Amino acid sequence: MRAFLTVLRQGHPHAPLLVVSPAVRPDADTTPNRFGATLTHLREAAERAAHDVRPLPGGELLDVARLVDGVHPGDEGHALLAEAVVRALRPLR
C-alpha cells in the first residue's frame, strides 16, 4: 500500500487522495488468510499506510446487517459507503 501510494503521489502530487480500508466482513475479520493476516490486520495496515493522505476507516462504515450475503453490501450498504466517501472528500474541494 505504501509503495502504491508513493507511486500515485509521484504521478499526481497535488491530487486529493482518499484510501478506504476494507469494510466489515465477519467471516474474515478474525480468520487468518494463508499468510496469517486477518481482514482486521489488513484494514489496520491500510489505514497506517494512508496516514499521509486521507484515510477512511472501512471497518466503521457498515454493520453486518448491511451485508446481503455476509460479505457484500446491498443497496443500502453501498449508499452508506458512497455517503461516507462524499463526506470525506467534500473538505478537499
Q: Residue 6: what pLDDT?
A: 93
Write down the pTM of the prediction: 0.82
How many independent structural domains does the chain possess? 1
Which residue shows C-alpha cell 446481503? 68
Q: Residue 36: what pLDDT?
A: 97
* Closest to 25 (Cα-Cα) out of 84, 78, 63, 71: 71
What residues make up the domain containing 76?
A: 2-92
Q: Which CATH number do you get for residue 13?
A: 3.40.50.1110
Per-residue pLDDT of the chain (93 residues; tens, 9 = 90+): 999 999 999 999 998 889 999 999 999 999 999 999 999 999 999 999 998 888 999 999 999 999 999 999 999 999 999 999 999 988 877
